[in-house]
Amino acid sequence: MNKQLSFATNYTTVKRFQPYTFKNQLRDAVINCAAPISSLLGIDTILMQKNRVQFLFLHHLFDDEIAPFKKLLTQLSKEHTFINYSESVNRIKTGSIDKSYICFSSDDGYKSNTTLAKVFAEFGINACFFLCPSVIGETNLEVISKYANNNLRFAIPIKFMNWNEVEMIQKLGHEIGSHTNTHIDVSQQNFEKIAEEFSVSKHEIEKNCGATKHLALPFGRFSSFKSEWWKISADVGFESCASALNGCHIASTQPIKTEELFIRRNLILPNQWTLRHQLFYLQYNSFMARSSNNFLPQAF
C-alpha cells in the first residue's frame, strides 16, 4: 500500500488516473465538428424535443464539477421535463411517452452524492441512487483502496456515504436502488452468485431504506449480456434492471415485461466533457432511437 495514497477530493485528481486516449481525442474532434452543423441547421432543437425518455447517470459530484453540472441542468430544463426513475420505468412499460423526459441516477454510493442530491433538489429533480451495501459506511482508506482496485477497477479511493447520509438523500425525495452488493462484474459470475448478489443487496437496502424497486448492473458496457440476468433480477423482486449502454427510449406499441425491459443510460462527466459534447450525445441518442431498443436484444 502506497502510504502517500489518500482519498480523492476533486475531479481534477480523479482525472489524473484516467488516461485521455486517442479514441477519446478522435471522438471529441468529431463532436466538435458535428455539433455546430447540427445547431446551424436547427436539427439539435428538433431532436431534443422528440418524445422520449432519456436516462442520464453520474458517479460523483465534486466541488469542481458543480458549476458545469448546474449549467447542463439549466440547459436541459429548457426542452425537457424531469421525472423520477419509477415514473420513467412505468412510462416505458406502458408506452406513455408523450414528452421529452429526462431521468437521473447515480452509481456506487460515493460521499459526494450528498452534494449531488442537494443540487438535484435545487432543480426539482428526484433521482435514483444505486448503492453497493457492502461498502456503505466503510471509512478505512486501505479497505476502500483495495475495493476500488479489485471491485471498481479504479486506481484511486473515493469516500463512500454512510447509512445516515443515504437517509438524508431519501428525505430529499430521491429513490435508492441496488448496484449489487459488492459491485460484481456479472459477466464473470455464475447465475447462483449473481442471484446471491442481487438478493443480498436488496435485503440490506430494504433493511436500511425501505422498499427498493430498481437495479443497475455494474460494468454495463460489455457485449456479453444474458437475458437470464434480467430474469434473475425480476425473480428477486426488482421492477427494472439497467445497463450502462447509450441510448434512449421511445413509445412502444408492445407491452413490456420486467424481464424484457432493457434500460439504456448515458454517463455524464460534467468537468470532462463540454456542454456541447454532452448535448450532442443526447441528440444522437434521439436520432437513433427505435422502439425495439426498449427490449432485450435477441442476440443476448
Position 273 pLDDT exceeds 60: yes
Asked if residue 22 has pLDDT above 70, the reply is no
Please tell me the distance from the alpha carbon of residue 31 to that of residue 38, in angstroms, as a whole number: 10
Residue 9 lies in a domain: no
**pLDDT band at residue 55 using 50, 70 and 90 as cut-offs:** very high
Selected residue with higher pLDDT from 272 and 125: 125
Does residue 37 or residue 63 have the better pLDDT? 63
> What cell numbers appear for 265 in the block?
443510460
Residue 1 inside a domain? The answer is no
1 — pLDDT class (breaks 50, 70, 90): very low
Bridge-based pairing state of the strands 240-242 and 214-216: parallel
Contact by Cβ (8 Å): 271, 60: no
Query: pLDDT confidence of 222, banded at 50, 70, 90?
Result: low
pLDDT band at residue 299 using 50, 70 and 90 as cut-offs:
very low
- Residue 64 C-alpha cell reads as 469542481
CATH number at residue 28: 3.20.20.370
pLDDT (0 to 100) of residue 184: 96
**Is 129 inside any structural domain?**
yes
Q: Is residue 14 part of a domain?
A: no
Q: What is the pTM of this model?
A: 0.93
What pLDDT does 35 receive? 61
Domain assignment of residue 229, yes or no: yes
Please indicate, yes or no, if residue 191 is contained in any of the structural domains: yes
Residues 59, 15 contacting (CB under 8 angstroms):
no
Q: For CA atoms 128, 206, 202, 237, give the dihedral sign.
A: negative
User: Whole domain around residue 221: which residue ranges?
Assistant: 22-294
Distance CA 152, CA 8 (A): 15
What would the pLDDT profile of 143-202 be if each residue is shown by its tens digit? 999 999 999 998 899 999 999 999 999 999 999 999 999 999 999 999 999 999 999 999
pLDDT in tens, 62-114: 999 999 999 999 999 999 999 999 999 999 999 999 999 999 999 999 999 99
Residue 206: pLDDT above 90? yes
Q: How many domains does the chain have?
A: 1
Q: Is residue 17 part of a domain?
A: no
Residue 61 above 90 pLDDT? yes
Helix or strand run (H / E) with residue 100: strand 100-108
Q: Look at residue 19 in the predicted model and tell me its pLDDT.
A: 64
Evaluate whether residue 10 is within a structural domain.
no
Return the C-alpha cell found at 26: 478522435
Helix (H) or strand (E) holding 52: strand 52-58
Q: Which three cell numbers stand for residue 180?
A: 449489487
